[in-house]
Amino acid sequence: MHTNQSKPTDKALVDLILLGHVNETAVSIVAANLQAIMGLNTDIRPVLEKPDYAYVPGRNQFDSAKIIKTLCSITGGAPLKLGLIESDLCTPILTFVYGESQLGGKAALVSLHRLSAEDPAVTYQRIAKISLHEVAHLLGIRHCWKTTCLMKHSSNLEPLDSLSIYFCSACEYEIQRHLKTLINRDT
């Protein structure tokens, strides 16, 4: 079961927020996959400035936690915010992250920086996978042990590439359950 089973709604549930310049094709692919695989209507919001407030000079990276806090503070629009950025992200304890999100929260963030491959199709698939994974965390879904499930944790690109772009039936069921709650709460 890979399609949305929850009550259809025309209202966007996810706002895609671009932080500085972001590859347009990648943005479209993320929006299309959120709609097709998770059944989430998605709005692409106007581009925000690059988040210099989160720049970590010694590491030449951006602090994902600080950006997420800013995304959370945005009022109006869809209940979930997914930031996209081309720059490299880190946290105070991790050397890098592909993406970060608040478990059961409001905002998530994905960096395109480390996801590029020689084949653009692979690059876009990686971006879509990380985006779907982080948005599922926003719905409260934790990591899954099943090797075929998109919620399996990937700490580098090799396991990420071997993952399916779909969720296992248990995670899919949980996503739909949380989505219903979100839609009911929002309408």
Partner 1 sequence: MSSAMQIMVVDDEENICEALAAWFQKDGYGVETAGSGPEALERMQQKPCDVYLVDIKMPGMDGLELLARLKEKQPDVDVIMITAHGSVQTAVEAMKRGACDYLCKPFDPDQLSLLMERVMASKALRDENIVLREQLAEQREAIFDGFVAQSETMQNVFSIIEDVAPSSAPVLITGETGVGKELIAHTIHTLSEQSYGPFVAINCGALSETLLESEIFGHERGAFTGAAKARRGRLEMANNGTLFLDEVGEISNKMQVALLRALEEKKFERLGGSRAIETNFRLISATHQDLPQRIKENQFREDFFYRINVITVPVAPLRERLEDVPALADHFLERYVQETGKRIEGFTQRALGMLMSYSWPGNVRELRNVIERGVVIARGRMIGAKELTFLNTPSAECQLGTLTLREVEISHVRAALEACNWNISHAAKQLGIDRSTLNRKIKLYHMIRP
Instruction: Give catalytic residue positions.
Output: 134
- 59 binds partner 1 per the rule CB under 8 A: yes
Distance CA 34, CA 32 (A): 6
Among 5, 25, 148, 155, binds partner 1 (CB under 8 A): 155
Locus of tokens 């995304």? 71
Minimum CB distance to partner 1 smaller for 7 or for 59: 59
Distance CA 179, CA 170 (A): 14
- The interface region with partner 1, picked from 8-16, 42-50, 85-93, 120-128 by CB under 8 A, is 85-93
- 147 binds partner 1 per the rule CB under 8 A: no
To partner 1, the closest distance from the beta carbon of 102 in angstroms equals: 7
Locus of tokens 């988040």? 51
Which among 78, 130, 127 is positioned nearest to 101, based on CA atoms?
Answer: 130
Residues 13-52 as x/- pattern, contact with partner 1 by CB under 8 A: ----------------------------------------
The helix/strand/coil state of 43 is strand
- 153 binds partner 1 per the rule CB under 8 A: yes
Distance CA 68, CA 100 (A): 8
Distance CA 159, CA 151 (A): 12
How far, CA to CA in Å, does 11 sit from each of 7, 87, 172, 182, 185? 11, 30, 21, 12, 13
- The interface region with partner 1, picked from 76-84, 122-130, 151-159, 169-177 by CB under 8 A, is 151-159
Interface with partner 1 (CB under 8 A), residue total 21
Structural tokens at position 73: 């503070």
> Which parts of 119-138 interact with partner 1 (CB under 8 A)?
137
Among 17, 84, 97, 171, binds partner 1 (CB under 8 A): 97
The helix/strand/coil state of 128 is helix
- 94 binds partner 1 per the rule CB under 8 A: yes
Residues that bind partner 1 in the complex, under the rule CB under 8 A? 59, 65, 90-97, 100, 102-103, 137, 142-145, 153, 155-156
